[in-house]
Amino acid sequence: MPSKIILKPLQNILTDCKYTKKLLEQMLGEFFCERDKDIETFLHNKAVDYELSGISRTYLYIVSNQKSDIVDVAAYFSIALTSINLADASSNRRSKILGKTPGSGFKDDFGGVLIAQLGRNDAFVTSEVNGERIIADCELTIEKGRKWLGGRVAYLDCKKALVGYYERFGYRLLSDVPSDTGLYKMFKMLPKLVAA
């Protein structure tokens, strides 16, 4: 019987007594992403520290091994609160993001949620966990947080080759020029929250 892939917050794994630091490091160390080493490096070296310090929240797609406490990480995403500089955005894009925010004519920065990392382990095929599922779960997680924290924009940084991919999910370029890191900043207006 094939194993089921479930989404679990890293925070829950950190508080689960059966996962020692060594076991957790071993589990995260088995994640490989040859296409983008930054995705791999973040999970290996930064995810736990960022989680514990409250910088970001990471969510893991895990596959339990019935014979041991080790779980495989099939994919993950990390999100964080952020402020993005709109100075380089076109006036049209800037207006779309700021909307009718009071005092928005004087703002260069605007808050939102950053999709900081998003990736799949090379050991898993697309049919097991694909980008569409990861993005949908990521946006659902952001939506749950928005009910408590507010916000209406999701941001991400990506390589030029991925701009078209993210456009399929409704993300738009903030600027046609890459940032100093060579990445393109993209944004997506999130749906308006409806009062219950």
Q: What is the pLDDT of residues 42-91, one digit of tens each?
A: 999 999 999 999 999 999 999 876 666 567 899 999 999 988 777 777 77
Q: What is the pLDDT of residues 138-154, one digit of tens each?
A: 999 999 888 888 778 89
Q: How many C-beta atoms surround the C-beta of residue 122 within 10 A?
A: 12
Residue type, 130: N
pLDDT at site 30? 92
Given a contact cutoff of 8 angstroms between Cβ atoms, the answer to whether 114 and 82 are in contact is yes
Q: 5-189: which CATH topology?
A: Aminopeptidase (3.40.630)
Q: Which ranges of 82-170 would DSSP assign to H, the alpha helix?
A: 91-98, 131-149, 163-167
Segments making up each domain of the chain, as ranges: 5-189
End-to-end CA distance of the chain: 42
Cα 106 to Cα 195: distance, rounded to the nearest angstrom: 29
pLDDT at site 101? 61
